[in-house]
Structure 1
């Protein structure tokens, strides 16, 4: 299994205290939780390999929560996020301990825990590594809607197996899931009349653009905000 290059930029800063939410145990995982439990609508955000403490991810969780959802962001890496530049543990070695197949298995009890709280619908969005986890949830119909953002590991067969509404937000300058592959995803979705879905390629952005940006970079912020709006619109349409 080759490793996903989640960004061509520098790794993100981390802040375990970022965001308006709090940390609690959910489905056996430490989880950042934001929003109102009485909303009855929930969304799961599955991080890239840099983990759930990335400030831009938590800001997005708060944004989704402000739209009326209960949002959970689990630590699928158990405190062992990928650290770039570690010569003793390159990405390929790290992935042996944290493959997306393991993430999918650990996501199941998280979704079950959310549903046990009385939520009537659960959506999920995955970033890079997390997109593979989310597409597996979508294939198993464990969620009501899916959003994949600059996905890694996702195949045409995966998209063909999806059974819930799915939006795929890709990057024009992505080497792992290039526009050509995203176009194949689109062709599959166009042929699946029973599943609502679309593919959108964002111009002039690279893998990881929705999380790996500086808040001082106006163009980067605008591109990320457009993706966030697509994500929110998809959840508003299908998680209800």
Structure 2
């Protein structure tokens, strides 16, 4: 992927839904090399406007996809300057039912935009950290079969018991030095999800793939992106 290709991406702010149920989102669309496939990207706690999240979404779009990043926190993401002692209080103000509803609103919008138009058959879904945990919940409850493939980057607060309800392949990516995403849980979940895969990077901590903080992180982040790109391509572009 070169810089010239990456320039061929359009970005737009959107409002999804109506009234009190409406949410903001950011859509990135490949222009000349668009393969027609939609990917829903669930952010970490820093939200949909965070530069690291948007940069990653941009790179995914560069490879031909239409990437939607919804505001999971209704304008109140976690910020780096807040004391960690306030984290659980902040999280309690992000009710799971509302977050799940907003994710469903986003998925339905993508289905109407891309699947109903017969551009693609299934959506892809990517989640980082908090979003990774929500990804597991979302695809475990995907009664309408919106999604065809999942990619979970170091998901937090995941419920392993949901794995048996998941019917699509999931790529799990994490570091072995990540206390928020134990590798043992990923392997337990993989064993209950058909055709899934776990990729673990030695010495890497939480967030390395989209927030690299060292040359070593950078190297493994590039590899993780390459693995993810192939997973998306093989499952959405080739199979669709």
Q: Give the TM-score taking structure 2 as reference length.
A: 0.81
* 8 Å CA contact retained: 1:43, 1:124: yes
Alignment of 1:20-35 (within 5 A): 21-27=11-17, 28-35=22-29
Aligned CA distance change for structure 1 residues 205 and 117 (closer, same or farther; 3 Å): same
Once the two structures are TM-superposed, the CA of residue 85 in structure 1 deviates from its matched residue by: 4.7
1:153 to 141, 150, 157: 157
- Answer yes or no: is 1:204 the counterpart of 2:203: yes
Q: CA deviation at 1:93?
A: 0.5
Instruction: Give the one of 22, 31, 50 matched to 1:54.
Output: 50
- Does the aligned pair in 2 maintain the 1:22–1:32 contact within 8 Å? yes
Query: Within 2, Cα distance between the matches of 1:212 and 1:41?
Result: 25
C-alpha contact 1:43 1:70 (8 A) present in aligned 2: yes
Question: Counterpart in 2 of 1:71?
Answer: 67
In the TM superposition, residue 101 of structure 1 has moved relative to its aligned partner by: 4.4
Determine if contact 1:100/1:129 at 8 Å carries over to the other structure: no
Q: SS state of the match for residue 118, structure 1? A: helix
- After superposition, give the CA deviation of every residue in 1:173-231 in whole Å (9 maximum; x if it has no partner): 11122122222223333xxxxx32111111111111122224xx322111111111122
Give the secondary structure class of the aligned counterpart of 1:177: coil
Which residue is equivalent to 1:82? 78
The aligned counterpart of 1:92 is 88
* Secondary structure in structure 1 of the residue aligned to 2:147: coil
Distance 2:163 2:109 in 1: 26
Q: Which whole-Å deviations, capped at 9, do the CAs of 1:125-174 have from their partners, x for residues lacking one?
A: 00010012211221123311111000111122122221111111121011
Taking the aligned partners of 1:88 and 1:154, their CA distance within structure 2 comes to: 20
Contact 1:104 1:134 in 2 (8 A): no
Q: 1:178 aligns with which of 175, 182, 190?
A: 182
> Using a 3 Å threshold, how does the CA distance of structure 1 residues 227 and 100 change in structure 2: closer, same or farther?
farther
Quick check: 223-232 or 77-86, which moved more? 77-86
The answer to whether the 8 Å contact 1:64/1:232 transfers is yes
Kindly indicate whether the alpha-carbon contact (under 8 Å) linking 2:30 and 2:64 is maintained by their aligned counterparts in 1: yes
Aligned pair count?
A: 215
- Cα distance in 2 for partners of 1:106, 1:56 equals 22
2:167 aligned to which of 151, 163, 166: 163
Helix, strand or coil for the counterpart of 1:68?
coil
**Post-superposition CA distance 1:96-133 (Å, at most 9, x none):** 11144432221111111111113322110000100122
- The equivalent of 1:109 in structure 2 is 105
Q: CA deviation at 1:72?
A: 0.7
